[in-house]
Amino acid sequence: ASALFEATRVPQQVAELGIDLLQELCTLAPLGSKQSMSDAAVAAHLATAAVRSALLNVRINLAYMRDRAMVEEMEKAACALDEQCTRLSERAVSAVAQRIS
């Protein structure tokens, strides 16, 4: 059970780091030069993919966990991260679009 928990916790941490990156991109994208905007947009898309891929691993592992309270807690956290990812990704890409127009 602890190995399965660890196998679930690690991708959750990856998702959290992806969220951190998206937050930084939201701050930095409006400040960069127009020449670097494609880099910022690509970084936002890659961070989004990293978060979503990590959350997929979390949810796959949750299906095998027996501790229902832990599953509910981790699923709730995964949902929150997923929603945050959507919001931040849209914000970062929008900041890039505004900067280049």
| Crossing angle of helices 68-100 and 2-28, rounded to 10° | 20
Q: What are phi and psi of 23, to 5 degrees?
A: -65, -45
Residue 1 has pLDDT above 80, yes or no: no
Q: What are the residue ranges spanned by the domains of the chain?
A: 2-100
Residue 100 has pLDDT above 70, yes or no: yes
pLDDT number for residue 22: 98
Q: Which residues contact 58 (CB under 8 A, 6 or more apart)?
A: 8, 11, 12, 15, 74, 78
CATH number of 2-100: 1.20.120.680
In this prediction, what percent of the chain has a pLDDT beyond 90? 85
For the stretch 12-53, pLDDT in tens is 999 999 999 999 999 998 888 889 899 999 999 999 999 999
Q: What is the pTM of this model?
A: 0.92
